[in-house]
């Protein structure tokens, strides 16, 4: 087992050395393909994005897929070392992508390489377009897999999910994200003659309490309440003697499965009844949740506890990930990876022990999944 630990750390260091800023994989996908030479390959390259699917059929049982991304955000300023030359200091490895998410990729790639038997199919799905718009990433590959009848039954996305201790959290779903653009109409005028104007600020002021920070549902066992979060309010010409002709409000709702765009629209219609306004809603991602009793949830829960001694909590907190695309295809998907506390930050890092333990969790899961 010690040799396997050295293998996964060596692989991790190699992946960190690829300057794979979205959407450029910088050769990392070709390297992974050569590393898993016994697996069959499918490439889907579109819009300047490379997507790789590798699979190996061991038996007639379930199809378990590991998924993730090799692309990283730009390093930015403030690094103490070269962000694409991994450095080991006091048991931690520093480099861009260490947590998000080349540590997870290294762990499951090594797991697949070491797998000798499985009652079903093992696969991986990797993209170089997760940190960007994701237009030509995972969803393109999933569409192709559906067309050829190769969608997985279960999927594990190795995003960094743990909070304070490795093993303390699994994500079984994600909230959606709805953006709102609200314009309250008024009539511009002189501040000295407010009776001749229609000030949208005055009109909306007593109603804001029914919009700002309001919960649109009560939440449930999986999701916190969907809250309307005001992100911007502006109107007028930045002078003191002219009242504004309109007021613009922007907001975001991280919505659960209990709140939709239509629910938001109806709420605003009720609150702003009698006012002239326009409303535009857009949705970048949709909520999903995997049943807590799903095989993949129960199995990874057990593997984490066996390796770490920690009983992980089941969470849907945070932003979004490519797991949302799996959920849209009805695939039972969970996310599990290293601690998330330095992603996208200068001096991003993770510990050697976490990478070893993540490899142990994934290996235990594969060995016991059948």
The residues assigned a catalytic role are 71, 130
Joined together, the tokens standing for residue 352 give: 């050697």
Joined together, the tokens standing for residue 222 give: 């999986």
- Within its chain, how far is the Cα of 127 from the centroid? 13
Joined together, the tokens standing for residue 178 give: 């709805």
Q: Where are the alpha helices (DSSP H) in 168-239?
A: 200-204
Distance CA 7, CA 12 (A): 9
Cα-based distances in Å from 298 to 68, 252, 319, 326: 21, 33, 23, 18
Joined together, the tokens standing for residue 124 give: 């991986």
- Within its chain, how far is the Cα of 328 from the centroid? 14
Sign (positive or negative) of CA dihedral 149, 60, 56, 126: positive
Coil, helix or strand for 275?
Answer: coil
Distance CA 94, CA 319 (A): 24
What are the two backbone dihedrals, phi and then psi, of residue 146, each rounded to the nearest 5 degrees? -65, -40
The side-by-side arrangement of strands in the sheet containing 169-171 is: 40-46, 49-57, 120-127, 62-69, 154-157, 332-335, 169-171, 313-315
Distance CA 319, CA 231 (A): 16
């Amino acid at each position: 087992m010690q040799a396997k630990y050295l293998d996964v750390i060596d692989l991790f260091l190699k992946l960190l050395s690829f300057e794979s800023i979205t959407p450029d994989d910088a050769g990392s996908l070709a390297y992974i393909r050569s590393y898993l030479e016994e697996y069959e390959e499918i490439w889907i390259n579109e819009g300047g994005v490379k997507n790789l699917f590798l699979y190996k059929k061991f038996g007639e049982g379930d199809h378990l897929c590991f998924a993730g991304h090799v692309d990283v955000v730009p390093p930015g300023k403030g690094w103490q070392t070269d962000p694409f030359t991994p450095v080991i200091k006091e048991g931690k490895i520093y480099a861009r992508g260490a947590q998000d998410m080349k540590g997870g990729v290294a762990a499951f790639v090594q797991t697949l390489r070491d797998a000798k038997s499985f009652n079903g199919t093992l696969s991986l799905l990797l993209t170089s377009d997760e940190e960007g718009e994701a237009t030509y990433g995972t969803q393109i590959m999933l569409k192709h897999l559906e067309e050829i009848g190769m969608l997985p039954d279960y999927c594990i996305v190795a995003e960094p999910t743990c909070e304070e201790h490795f093993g303390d959290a699994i994500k079984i779903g994600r909230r959606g994200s709805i953006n709102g653009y609200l314009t309250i109409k008024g009539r511009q005028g002189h501040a000295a003659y407010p009776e001749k104007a229609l000030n949208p600020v005055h009109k909306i002021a007593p109603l804001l309490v029914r919009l700002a920070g309001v919960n649109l549902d009560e939440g449930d066992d999986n999701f916190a309440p969907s809250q309307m979060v005001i992100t911007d309010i502006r109107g007028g010409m930045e002078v003191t003697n002219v009242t504004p002709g309109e007021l613009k409000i922007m907001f975001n709702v991280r919505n659960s499965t209990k709140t939709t765009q239509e629910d938001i629209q109806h709420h605003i219609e009720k609150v702003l009844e009698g006012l002239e306004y326009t409303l535009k809603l857009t949705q970048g991602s949709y909520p999903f949740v995997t049943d807590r009793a799903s095989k993949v949830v129960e199995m990874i829960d057990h593997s984490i506890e066996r390796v770490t001694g920690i009983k992980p909590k089941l969470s849907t907190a945070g932003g979004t990930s490519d797991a949302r695309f799996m959920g849209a295809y009805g695939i039972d998907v969970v996310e599990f990876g290293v601690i998330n506390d330095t992603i996208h930050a200068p001096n991003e890092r993770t510990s050697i022990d976490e990478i070893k333990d993540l490899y142990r969790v994934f290996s235990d899961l594969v060995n016991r999944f059948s």
